[in-house]
Structure 1
Amino acid sequence: MLSHQHEVFLEVARRLSFTKASQSLFISQSAVSKQVKALEEHYKTGLFERLGNAVALTAAGQLLYQKLLQVQQLQTELHQAMADLSPRFTPDIRMVIGASTTISLYVLPPVLSAYLGHHPHVQLTLKNRNSENILKALLEHEIDLGVIEGIHRVSNVTYTPLLSDDVVAVCSAKNPLQGRKLALTDLYHVPLALREPGSGTLAVVEQALLAQRIRLGDLHVKVRLGGTEALKNFVRVDPSVLAFLPRQAVVKELAAGELAEVKVADLQLRRHFEFVQRRGTENNSPFKDFMQFALRYYSKAE
């Protein structure tokens, strides 16, 4: 079993930051430093190089990090095997899931609430980043399961479909575009508010436009905003821009008349949400169980 000291070391090694590790573990930075120092004294070698405000793993630290990842994997497999043999064995489980903005805000909350109601021994952390950074966190072992918008593809990751959603063009209720149907060529003359690079929503829009031989760089992009909520709130108060947002994110605003959907001819913006895992970890519990639970949840909701 991993000791507390080794778990603290793993978090510092993942983040290469004592401050971020302390925030993630909900302990003081001095406590993190104390645990790492104890390990360094135990192994009689330095595990981190202190470079001003930054840290880097030494050769010994890198070796320990890689071996502990293997131990962590074996511990997960052991818990799964013991639970299969002894149903009364319910170890406390910590799950760290990463999800892109739309999924974190609108797709996962009801699933997480229902899942935790059935699994009180699970302590769950949800990290909210754009799709590109969720993939990065997965490959760096910061998370073990991600949910992203299925645009980015890498070879050492497996993808499992969860559900689909539409991206819609919307504007403020005070925008003259309200009630109009635009031709694709109209987009060259309309100020746009878009998500930041790395966003799955932006990738869907860019891909759909390229299919119609329209480059995003040729359009009038007035502003780029990080996060769905920031973009939505900007469009609500700015009567000049058109934005592309997930339908799930604007259902209430459309119903209340705060935003208006704008149809764009021949532009299909359908995107797919998928679970992502590092290859070789697909059968790990409890993440496999959570995926199956989420799939059942949304299959019943349809």
Structure 2
Amino acid sequence: MLSTQHLVFLEVARRLSFTKAGQSLFLSQSAVSKQVKALEEYYQTGLFERLGNAVALTPAGQLLYRKLLQAQQLQTELREEMAALNPRFAPEVQMVIGASTTVSLYVLPPVLSAYLAERPRTQLTLKNRNSENILKALLDHEIDLGVIEGIHRVSNVTYTPLLTDDVVAVCSARNPLRHRHLTLTDLYQVPLALREAGSGTLAVLEQALLAQRIRLADLRVPVRLGGTEALKNFVRVDDQVLAFLPRQAVARALAAGELAEVPVEGLALKRHFEFIQRRGTENLAPFREFMQFARRHYSAAE
């Protein structure tokens, strides 16, 4: 088992911030500093360089960080192999999952609830960021498993399909566009409200438009908002803009008449949600079992 001091060091090393590490661990900044100082005294060397408000790992800190990541991986594998040898050994499983905004809000909650009901000795943490930052968090060992959509693939990550969803064009119920069927050419004249850079939804839209030889840079985009809910709420109260949002995110608002779907001829947008894992962790039981459970959940719902 890694010591508390080593776990605190890992969080500071991941975030390169004593303050952010403290927030993540629910510790004061002084408590985080105290744990790191104790490690530096033990190893008789500095682990971080303090550069004003920023910190950086020293060579010794980089070495310790690499070794502790390996130790975490070995610890997970050891627990799994011990449990296979002795059914009475059932340690609490801790899993940190990162998911893009839409997945966190609309896709994973029912899965997490059902999964925890069957596995009470599991502790799950869900972190919500856009797809680009979830991929970064996975590669930085900040999360164990991610769920993203609409992002370029990288070689040191494995991808497993979860489900497919539509992205639809919507507007306020007061917007004159609610009565129209748009063409691709119309998009040059309609003001658009879009997600921020790094969003999976935005990436899917951009790719689909490029396939039709339309660049986002050539369209009218007066506003960009971070997060699905922020964009949905903006469109709900604005009677001019058109937005592209996941169908799962706007289904209730469409049914309630708060938003209206606006067909765009020749533009079909599909998002493919996928699990992402660091290569080498595919066969670890907790991750494999959760992925299988989530896939079964949505297969049964179809």
Give the TM bin, normalised by the shorter chain: over 0.9
Contact 1:150 1:274 in 2 (8 A): no
Describe the SS at the equivalent of 1:286. Answer: helix
The residue aligned with 2:285 is 285
Contact 1:188 1:218 in 2 (8 A): yes
Contact 1:162 1:274 in 2 (8 A): yes
The residue aligned with 1:227 is 227
Q: Amino acid of the residue matched to residue 253 of structure 1?
A: A
Q: Amino acid of the residue matched to residue 273 of structure 1?
A: F
1:188 aligns with 2:185: no
CA distances 1:144-203 after superposition (whole Å, capped 9, x unpaired): 211000432111111000000000000000000112111111111101000011100001
- State the alpha-carbon separation in 2 of the partners of residues 98 and 152 from structure 1: 17
Moved more, 236-245 or 81-90: 81-90
Deviation at 1:103, TM superposition (A): 0.3
- State the alpha-carbon separation in 2 of the partners of residues 61 and 127 from structure 1: 26
Deviation at 1:283, TM superposition (A): 1.1
The residue aligned with 1:121 is 121
Deviation at 1:239, TM superposition (A): 0.3
CA distances 1:231-252 after superposition (whole Å, capped 9, x unpaired): 0000000000000000000011
Describe the SS at the equivalent of 2:123. Answer: strand
Contact 2:195 2:225 in 1 (8 A): yes
Deviation at 1:30, TM superposition (A): 1.8
RMSD value, Cα: 1.0
Describe the SS at the equivalent of 2:179. Answer: coil
Describe the SS at the equivalent of 2:282. Answer: coil
Deviation at 1:45, TM superposition (A): 0.7
Contact 2:77 2:284 in 1 (8 A): yes
The residue aligned with 1:56 is 56
The residue aligned with 2:161 is 161
Q: Amino acid of the residue matched to residue 243 of structure 2?
A: A
- State the alpha-carbon separation in 2 of the partners of residues 14 and 88 from structure 1: 34
Give the paired residue count. Answer: 302
- Aligned pairs for 1:92-241 within 5 A: 92-241=92-241
The residue aligned with 1:255 is 255
Describe the SS at the equivalent of 2:197. Answer: coil
Q: Amino acid of the residue matched to residue 103 of structure 2?
A: I
The residue aligned with 2:81 is 81
Deviation at 1:286, TM superposition (A): 1.3
Describe the SS at the equivalent of 1:220. Answer: coil
Contact 2:183 2:264 in 1 (8 A): yes
Contact 1:132 1:152 in 2 (8 A): no
Contact 2:150 2:203 in 1 (8 A): no
Contact 2:173 2:236 in 1 (8 A): yes
Moved more, 97-106 or 114-123: 114-123
The residue aligned with 2:33 is 33
- State the alpha-carbon separation in 2 of the partners of residues 242 and 189 from structure 1: 11
- Aligned pairs for 1:3-14 within 5 A: 3-14=3-14
Contact 2:132 2:151 in 1 (8 A): no
Deviation at 1:225, TM superposition (A): 0.6
Deviation at 1:88, TM superposition (A): 2.1
Deviation at 1:93, TM superposition (A): 2.4
Describe the SS at the equivalent of 2:177. Answer: coil
CA distances 1:76-127 after superposition (whole Å, capped 9, x unpaired): 0000101111222121222111100100100001111111112222221111
- State the alpha-carbon separation in 2 of the partners of residues 142 and 23 from structure 1: 14
Q: Amino acid of the residue matched to residue 116 of structure 2?
A: L
The residue aligned with 1:269 is 269
Contact 1:167 1:246 in 2 (8 A): yes
Describe the SS at the equivalent of 2:222. Answer: strand
Contact 1:76 1:285 in 2 (8 A): no
Structure 1 runs not aligned, ≥5 long = none
Deviation at 1:213, TM superposition (A): 1.0
Deviation at 1:29, TM superposition (A): 1.9
Contact 2:93 2:123 in 1 (8 A): yes
Q: Amino acid of the residue matched to residue 122 of structure 1?
A: T
- State the alpha-carbon separation in 2 of the partners of residues 172 and 202 from structure 1: 20
The structure 1 segments of at least 4 consecutive aligned residues displaced by more than 3 Å after TM superposition are none
Describe the SS at the equivalent of 1:263. Answer: coil
- State the alpha-carbon separation in 2 of the partners of residues 50 and 288 from structure 1: 40
